[in-house]
Amino acid sequence: MLTRREMLRGTVATASVAAAITAEGEAEAREAKPMPDEALGLLFDGTLCIGCRACISACKDVNKMPADRTELEAGNYWEAPLDISGKTLNVIKCYREGSGLHKDEVKDGYAFTKVSCMHCVDPSCVSACPVSAMTKDLVNGIVHYSVEACIGCRYCVEACPFGVPRFTYDTPFPKISKCQLCQQRYADGKYAACAEVCPTGATLFGKTRDLKQEVARRKALKPGEKTVYPRGKIGGTDEYIGISKRYVDHVYGEKEIGGTQVLHLSGVPFDLLNKPPLPDISPARTSETLQHMVYRGLVAPFVFLGGLVALAYRSMRKPEAKPTDKPGDDKGGAP
């Protein structure tokens, strides 16, 4: 029979083990993911963009995407399509205020921004996908979508802080649609089509570490200076000569949700461009840390319960046979 002392001792022991497991779980926050050394990305410099939208057409062309039907908004006949969708992976949006006459000015000004996948360093879409249909390339960091693996749950749509993945509801076999940095073109020595056609180098393709150096160079320029900008891809031979502008002191994508491989420069604050302020820590990291804690937390009660069951079982077992027991009696002694 289990005595009260044994019961108490067992309870304390199992509770200690359970508490230790829980404490260990709380201490283990998931590490931040580093940017791959060879990460590829884009730099969009809104001060260089002239709003020609060649990048939208080129993106549709190389990705074989159909035309998007857009209801034109009164007073906004320029923006069509209005947003990315199952048929459009890249759009240029325009900020306007007052007379809208002055480029990259807040008051009475206008400015352009690009909307497409940011290729996050720690992508929420990858973390949320239950079947690994969204994956991040370990070498170039491109966030890739596999239509074969996708089960259509749309968790990635809900998880993306930039609202990028779109589900093609209006097709017989719906799938997720998002920019994959034109990776299908690399084997032929080509690169992102939106960057290749951009006449001013406003959209520039390259390794993210090189793009960051270009960002630092541009930020150090004196506004109004005549400047040579790389055009197409960084390290290529094409150039564009322009006049440097004043930038807001923020590189969008440098820190947002743990960093992204696509970076944005602008002459007007990013909140005016519908680029949301986001924390530095990725939602993927936060949710995975919480998950680990919950699972660890669930282990503790099971360990506690298991300990109590073991104690109870031990108390109910038959007593061990004693050496004085006679052979052949029913108490389990040696023959």
User: What residues line the site for ligand SF4 (CB under 6 A)?
Assistant: 49-55, 58-59, 63, 89-90, 92, 112, 116-120, 123-125, 143, 160, 162, 164-165, 178-179, 181-182, 192-194, 197-200, 202-203
**For helices 283-316 and 4-27, angle between their N-to-C axes, nearest 10 degrees:** 170
Distance of closest approach, residue 49 Cβ to ligand SF4, in angstroms: 3
Of 160 and 311, the one with the shorter C-beta distance to ligand SF4 is 160
Of 10 and 165, the one with the shorter C-beta distance to ligand SF4 is 165
Q: How far apart are CA 93 and CA 79, in angstroms?
A: 7
Instruction: Give bridge partners of residue 40 from the DSSP assignment.
Output: 207
Of 27 and 187, the one with the shorter C-beta distance to ligand SF4 is 187
Q: How far apart are CA 218 and CA 212, in angstroms?
A: 10
Distance of closest approach, residue 19 Cβ to ligand SF4, in angstroms: 37
Distance of closest approach, residue 233 Cβ to ligand SF4, in angstroms: 11
Across the chain, the runs of DSSP E, i.e. the strands, are 40-45, 91-96, 102-103, 109-115, 134-136, 143-145, 166-167, 176-177, 203-207, 226-230, 239-243, 263-265
Of 10 and 141, the one with the shorter C-beta distance to ligand SF4 is 141
Of 102 and 296, the one with the shorter C-beta distance to ligand SF4 is 102
Q: How far apart are CA 127 and CA 160, in angstroms?
A: 10
| CA-to-CA dists, residue 239 to 78, 114, 187, 222, angstroms | 27, 21, 24, 19
| CA-to-CA dists, residue 183 to 91, 140, 155, 233, angstroms | 19, 10, 24, 14
Could you give the residue ranges of the DSSP H alpha helices within the chain? 4-27, 54-62, 124-128, 155-159, 193-197, 208-220, 283-316
Distance of closest approach, residue 89 Cβ to ligand SF4, in angstroms: 4
Distance of closest approach, residue 30 Cβ to ligand SF4, in angstroms: 16
Name the nearest CA neighbour of 235 among 218, 216, 266, 213. Answer: 213
Of 85 and 116, the one with the shorter C-beta distance to ligand SF4 is 116
Name the nearest CA neighbour of 177 among 90, 261, 85. Answer: 85
Of 192 and 265, the one with the shorter C-beta distance to ligand SF4 is 192
State residue 196 phi and psi, 5-degree precision: -60, -40
Length of the chain: 335
Of 181 and 311, the one with the shorter C-beta distance to ligand SF4 is 181
Distance of closest approach, residue 74 Cβ to ligand SF4, in angstroms: 23
Instruction: Give bridge partners of residue 45 from the DSSP assignment.
Output: 265
Name the nearest CA neighbour of 206 among 162, 248, 238, 246. Answer: 238
Distance of closest approach, residue 220 Cβ to ligand SF4, in angstroms: 23
Distance of closest approach, residue 314 Cβ to ligand SF4, in angstroms: 52
Distance of closest approach, residue 272 Cβ to ligand SF4, in angstroms: 17
Of 109 and 123, the one with the shorter C-beta distance to ligand SF4 is 123
